[in-house]
Structure 1
Amino acid sequence: MPPASLRFLLLLPLALAGCSEMQSGHMSQAALPAASIAAPAEPHFNPGGPDMARYADASGQFPPASRRTWWQTSHSVDGFSRLDQILSANTVRKPETPSPWRRATGGPTITYAMQQTGSRRFSIDEYLARNPATGLLIAQGDTIHVERYQYGRTDTHRLTSFSMAKTVTALLVGLAVADGAIASIDDPAERYVPDLKDSEYGRTPIRHLLTMSSGVRFDEDYSGRDDVSRMVTAMMLPQSPGGPAAVRQFNQRIAPPGQRWSYASAETQVLGLVLRAAIKRPIAEYLSERIWQPIGAESDASWIVDGSGQEATFAYFNAVLRDYARLGMLLANGGKVDERQVIPADWLREMTRPHFTSTQTGRWFGYGFQTWIFPDNDGSFALLGVRGQAIYVDPARRLVMVHTAVRPQARDPGGAETTALWRGVKAAFARQPG
């Protein structure tokens, strides 16, 4: 057993990755209509970014990250953009030929406001000067309107997702149901994972794992001493076994399944165990075949694995920015690529409707199947990850915004401004033809 100080350094980065709900903000009145002028569409690469002293050394270089340091703010620029070189990972193979993007030659000016700034409006340039975003991409249909990078990141860096990966896991569960590998989401997890037999997570129906309502106690407060830290200890330390043992240790039921919503990364990890057992092959391979190749990804992606070789499905999926946008556009298009239905339409509808309302979650968002649902009731939803990772999706306008970042804290309030920016994006495109 490592000393307590070393254990803390090893565990905290992995514990923090479970949080996604802190990116929402409370911006229900944040955005006003925007005027229309040309918008930059070619990629723009900034070698710096805001608050450089926090992220770079005295010479302006970003310190290389290691297994012990990648989560630290001073090492996060490097760590968040090559996590699959620091931790063990499975590759998600790209297709031979990527799908093309168009580049906008004109479009709406995007501005946004926040309640606390009154009538003051901010541009995308001002947003990037205020926020530690590593990547920002806005696309409508097959056309990119904005693609920006900071802190020396480029369109070849695989940027980590943190809890955005939870939504990807739910997509794959739906495909396994469609394939017949999972007979029913009303089956208990132990039907597919015998090592969970007679445990509370094992007795929980898949349906209630999808909605974070298992009723099993799991504390996720990102203290470094909470249950997500314990789970990651059992998954990721060099001598840890990973697999079912990592989640079986959480075995106290405090509510009947389906009754109470409570955010718990363990529920997604149980879903990953069910999925891996059902499809009988690596999840990364299944993702490549069923989603990554159909969307025409331009680069290989990766997914970090635990000591057993099981993908850490609650977090740690890694991809380039334009491929995150392709994934978002798949969802904006109702699960279709051209005329091919890649994700079953009925499954995507179930994923993106509020099984729990914002009142029930106690958050600004409602919750579907591992997906955050906007309270506006306009069909918009989001994939969210700790420290600033997000894919916002508006199916009505076929509109997607991808945001990656190195926010310094798990409970960082900066996510409120990102949500305000998204509202400005939606307002700007509201008058544009889809």
Structure 2
Amino acid sequence: MIRRSLLAIACAVGLVAPAAAQTASPLPADLQVLFWPAERREQDLRRMPELIPHARIEPSPTPRRLPDGEALDFDSSAFMESQRVAGLLVIQDGRVRMERYGLGLTPQDHWDSFSMTKSLTSTLVGAAIADGAIRSPYDLVTDYIPELAGGAYDGVQIAHVLTMTSGARWNEDYVDPNSDVARFYLTPPPADMDATVAYLRALPRAYPPGERWHYNTGETNLIGVLVARATGRPLAEYLKEKVWDPAGMEGPAFWMLDAQGKEAGGCCVSANLRDWGRVGLMALERGAVPGGQIATARWFESATSQMVDFPENDRGYGAQWWTRGDGAQFEASGIFGQMIHVDPARNLVVVFLSAWPSATSRERSDERQAFLRELKAAL
């Protein structure tokens, strides 16, 4: 059920070189990652910027140190093999207690995050509100993207889109080549309209805004369009200034571009394992990173709180962050086994970079949660 239909935020006021206007055709079949064989994903999720146009985000000039902590006496080898894990990182109290690599990944390699990117895009909304570029999460989406008027997004607030409660009809079936999530990147946009806006403005409404939760990657792309318009800057450039530099990222990142050369807000930032750990630390520390305050502490508290309940399990949803245990922990999550798990009570961040054979798997998700329980018992 919807715990809070609107984002409960009383927000306090709190160099990238994008790939040059690269215009690409819709992805050829060879690059449709959802339908790659498992062996190719294991090899190529570290090579996405070589295969598809991306914007490059340079490292921070002041990288954040991640000192070693007490090493965990914990055997992760069977789990990593079963889950096809490329990178596993455990940070507690700001110190690295475990760092393991598989599938040939190295500490310098990048790995595609898929929907973990959604949590970064949410953070950029918080930054834009703190900057005054976005007035409020309760503003109507059509105030910033007027081309959406007259369709399913009439009366929809930014908060609805952040919490995936807009009510627009959308199919996120990763194994259906005719689903919206599969067709979204393959449909040529009109020459005079943003590709995301062009696709979403044609969606019908399924429910009134705020009534039901429904996962929708296209809407996080829409959030990206909104942030870029409100700030007047490409998302990668804004991420560089607001997150990558102050959080002290040691490596570059790469953000996938759509057919019009714009960053896809809902997907596909590639970065190295330790920098994904720093993303987790940013959220754990409520944005109070060594380089300054990112967004506001109130933003992070709200965005990572449980606003939507799933009665069938212990998961919930915030503002582009998943929650667990009624909000006691929260996660950034992506298909094929990507996850940043944050446990504030234990001052803990755990990162998984993986190449699952399928986009989603209840069995593998349960196995990963069992591993987390065992890991926490060993801390």
Shorter-chain TM-score: which interval?
0.7 to 0.9
Contact 1:11 1:232 in 2 (8 A): no
1:235–1:246 CA contact under 8 A, matched in 2: no
CA contact (8 A) 2:167 2:205 kept: yes
Contact 2:227 2:235 in 1 (8 A): yes
1:260 aligns with 2:212: yes
Does the aligned pair in 1 maintain the 2:67–2:94 contact within 8 Å?
yes
Inter-partner Cα distance in structure 1 for 2:326 and 2:165: 23
Q: Distance in 2 between matches of 1:365 and 1:12?
A: 29
Q: How many residues align?
A: 351
Q: 136, 139, 148: which is aligned to 2:88?
A: 136
Match for residue 288 of structure 1 among 233, 240, 243: 240
Q: Work out which of the two has the higher radius of gyration on C-alpha atoms and give 1 or 2.
A: 1
What's the counterpart of residue 403 of structure 1? 352
Q: Which runs of 5+ in 1 are unaligned?
A: 1-5, 17-68, 111-122, 430-434
Cα-to-partner distance string for 1:222-262 (whole Å, 9 max, x where unaligned): 111111122121369xxx97242132232x11211111011
Please name the residue that 2:370 is paired with: 420
Aligned residue among 225, 234, 243 for 2:178: 225
Pick one of 86, 95, 109 that aligns with 2:51: 86
Q: Which amino acid aligns with 1:396?
A: A
Superposed displacement of residue 421, structure 1: 1.5
1:109 aligns with: 73
Which stretches in structure 2 are left out of the alignment for 5+ residues?
1-25
Residues 370 and 195 of structure 1: CA distance in aligned 2, closer, same or farther (over 3 Å):
same
User: 1:214 Cα deviation (Å)?
Assistant: 0.4
Partner of 1:95: 60
TM-score by structure 2 length?
A: 0.87
Amino acid at match of 1:109: D
Alignment of 1:365-384 (within 5 A): 365-375=315-325, 377=327, 379-384=328-333
The CA deviation at 1:107 is 4.3
- Output the amino acid matched with 2:364: G
**Structure 1 Cα separation of the partners of residues 50 and 133 of structure 2:** 32
| Secondary structure of residue in 2 paired with 1:423 | helix
Instruction: Specify the alignment match of 1:340 in structure 2.
Output: 292
Measured after TM superposition, the shift of residue 130 of structure 1 is 2.4
Residue 111 of structure 2 corresponds to: 159
Check 1:255–1:11 CA distance in 2 against 1; reply closer, same or farther (3 A cut): farther
Residue 427 of structure 1: CA displacement? 2.5
Which residue number corresponds to residue 340 of structure 2? 391
**1:161-181 deviations in whole A, cap 9, x for unaligned?**
011111111111111111111
* Cα distance change of structure 1 residues 151 and 132 upon mapping to structure 2, 3 Å threshold: same
Cα root mean square deviation, aligned? 2.4
Say which of 185, 194, 197 aligns to 2:149: 197
Aligned residue type for 1:9: A
Question: Are residues 317 and 7 of structure 1, via their aligned partners in 2, closer, same or farther at CA, if it must alter by over 3 Å?
Answer: closer
* Mapping 1:49-88, distance limit 5 Å: 71-88=36-53
Q: In structure 1, give the amino acid aligned to 2:63.
A: P
Deviation at 1:394, TM superposition (A): 1.0
Q: Distance in 2 between matches of 1:73 and 1:201?
A: 37
1:407 is paired with a residue whose SS is: coil
* 2:245/2:291 contact within 8 Å kept: no
What secondary structure is seen at the aligned counterpart in 2 of 1:327? helix
* % same residue: 34
The Cα of 1:10 is off from its aligned counterpart by 5.6
The alpha carbon displacement at 1:154 in A equals: 0.4
Trace 1:231-310 onto structure 2 (pairs within 5 A).
231-234=184-187, 242-250=195-203, 252-310=204-262
Question: C-alpha separation between the residues in 2 aligned to 1:203 and 1:234?
Answer: 26
Q: In the alignment, residue 284 of structure 1 is paired with which amino acid? A: A
Conserved in 2, the CA contact under 8 Å of 1:333 and 1:398?
A: no
The aligned counterpart of 2:29 is: 9
Question: 1:347 is aligned with what amino acid?
Answer: W
Shift of 1:350: 0.9
Do the aligned residues in 2 keep the contact of 1:103 with 1:145 (CA within 8 Å)? Answer: yes
Tell me by how many angstroms 1:395 deviates: 1.6
SS in 2 for 1:90: strand
Cα shift at 1:86: 0.7
Aligned to 2:165: 213
Task: Check the 8 A contact 1:235/1:241 in 2, yes or no.
Answer: no
How big is the shift at 1:363?
5.3
> 1:202/1:270 Cα in 2 relative to 1: closer, same or farther (>3 Å)?
farther
Partner of 1:47: none
